[in-house]
Amino acid sequence: MRSSPGARNSITDVAGVLVGHCQAVDAEVTLGTGAATGCTVVRVPGGATASVDVRGGGPGTRETDLLDPANTVRQLNAVLLTGGSAYGLAAADGVMRWSEEQGEGIPMDPADASRVVPIVPGAVIFDLPVGDWGIRPDADFGYRAAEAASTEFARGTAGAGVGARAGALKGGIGSASVVLADGPGAGVTVGAVIVANPVGSVVDPRTGLPWGAGTDGPDFFGLRPGTPQEIAALVALPVKSMVLNTTIGVVATDAALDPAGCRRMAATAHDGLARAIRPVHSPLDGDTLFALSTGAREVAPTALPAAFPADLLLLDQLCTAAAVVVERAIVDAVLSATSIAGIPAYHDLFPR
């Protein structure tokens, strides 16, 4: 697959996708005191076709059954990615409130355009021990994140990534995109935004390089192998001891897909998690990836035997790209993260 990063190397390179954060971070945060949490909203004005794939053993989700391709509703208006464990799902109420005020949702009354039902699925990470256990995203967080949604957004220790930990290191939120250069999907964009909070490791203890740098190589990310002293410091870090963890995110494309195609793209996107996190999909993670299609770019069908869907070759390209952007987004999350609550960031151990 020939491709290049989009203009922002971000999920917002996909036309019609916006991202916003809301967070609470105190100047002095410890494991147990101060505010250190947030949420992120991926908003698609006008709606997008979508599905989801849940692989981890301990998911915290909302409205994921609705996204089964066999079910009735075929579009969503926004996706909530949030800290706060199951408590953080309350932030989706604020996203719904903001969306309703904007007239975004399923129109339910032809005589009254204000009567809509916004579709806002969501997923959580477990970050409650970072900062004060009782401070977690609520409906106001979700409202402000939806309101803030834009093509530009912070990465690293921001939004739902504020309290994230990636193994022994500080986790965070990252993004990446590719524009396909050839094949049936030439010109199509695929992007991802990922909140990296796994129990598994994101760094190879032999080299000090992120596992996710393996596909593209360290030069792609401007990285170098660690020195023996740096690697020793990494190996000496205590293992992450939280019972619950989870990596969550959204993959998007501007190519037109039906819900079944979105489901396949979400499933294959998990390959990117497996390349960048070891182990992944554990009983201690609730790994959940949403996939959506804005349909902004129509792709001509390929002539295939009648037994195959006309978009099969396009879908194959999109699935390959989805895994790539998820892998790169995890590396971006780890490299962009900054330390809070004494949790070391990657560049604290491996300076640029």
Give pLDDT tens digits for 3-46.
Answer: 899 999 999 999 999 999 999 999 899 999 999 999 999 999 99
Q: What is the pLDDT of residue 166?
A: 95
Q: What is the mean pLDDT of residues 120-141?
A: 96
pLDDT band at 172 (very low <50, low <70, confident <90, very high): very high
Q: Helix, strand, or coil here: 178?
A: strand
Q: What is the pLDDT of residue 301?
A: 77
Mean pLDDT for the chain overall: 94
Q: Which CATH architecture has domain 3-348?
A: 4-Layer Sandwich (3.60)
What is the DSSP annotation of 263-302?
A: HHHHHHHHHHHHHHSBS-S-TT---EEEEEEEEEE--PPP
State the pairing for strand pair 18-25/36-54: antiparallel
Lowest mean pLDDT among 76-90, 141-155, 234-248, 259-273: 234-248
Return the structure tokens found at 70. Answer: 């066999």
Exposed (0-12), middle (13-18) or buried (19+): which is 179, by Cβ within 10 Å? buried
Q: What is the pLDDT of residue 163?
A: 96
User: Is 80 exceeded by the pLDDT of residue 310?
Assistant: no
Q: What is the mean pLDDT of residues 200-218?
A: 95
Separation CA 270–CA 275 (nearest Å): 9
Separation CA 177–CA 163 (nearest Å): 24
CB atoms within 10 A of CB 238: 6
Separation CA 252–CA 66 (nearest Å): 18
Q: What is the pLDDT of residue 347?
A: 96
Q: What is the pLDDT of residue 144?
A: 98
Q: What is the pLDDT of residue 113?
A: 85
40 DSSP β-pair partners: 21, 81
User: Is 80 exceeded by the pLDDT of residue 242?
Assistant: no
Q: What is the mean pLDDT of residues 243-252?
A: 91
Q: What is the pLDDT of residue 295?
A: 92
User: Is 80 exceeded by the pLDDT of residue 116?
Assistant: yes
How much of the chain, in percent, has pLDDT values that exceed 70? 100
Separation CA 12–CA 23 (nearest Å): 20
Q: What is the pLDDT of residue 193?
A: 98
48 DSSP β-pair partners: 76
Lowest mean pLDDT among 115-119, 134-138, 199-203, 239-243: 239-243
Residues 6+ apart with CB under 8 A from 109: 115
User: Is 90 exceeded by the pLDDT of residue 82?
Assistant: yes
CB atoms within 10 A of CB 148: 17
- Amino acid occupying residue 140: D
Residues 6+ apart with CB under 8 A from 116: 99, 100, 103, 104, 105, 106, 107, 108
Q: What is the pLDDT of residue 300?
A: 76
Separation CA 83–CA 26 (nearest Å): 16
pLDDT band at 230 (very low <50, low <70, confident <90, very high): very high
Exposed (0-12), middle (13-18) or buried (19+): which is 351, by Cβ within 10 Å? exposed
Separation CA 171–CA 325 (nearest Å): 17
User: Is 80 exceeded by the pLDDT of residue 248?
Assistant: yes
CA distances from 219 to 209, 213, 222, 229 (A): 11, 9, 5, 21
Q: What is the pLDDT of residue 66?
A: 94
Q: What global pTM score does this model have?
A: 0.95
pLDDT band at 138 (very low <50, low <70, confident <90, very high): very high
Separation CA 102–CA 100 (nearest Å): 5
User: Is 90 exceeded by the pLDDT of residue 81?
Assistant: yes
How much of the chain, in percent, has pLDDT values that exceed 90? 86
Q: What is the pLDDT of residue 114?
A: 87
Torsion of CA 196, 98, 18, 59, to 10 degrees: 30
User: Is 90 exceeded by the pLDDT of residue 312?
Assistant: no
Tokens 């709606």 appear where? 47
Contacts 24+ apart (CB under 8 A), 303-306: none
Q: What is the pLDDT of residue 297?
A: 86
Q: How many CA atoms lie within 13 A of 71 on its CB side?
A: 15
**CA angle 199–204–210, rounded 5-degree value:** 85
User: Is 90 exceeded by the pLDDT of residue 337?
Assistant: yes
User: Is 80 exceeded by the pLDDT of residue 241?
Assistant: no
Return the structure tokens found at 313. Answer: 């070759």
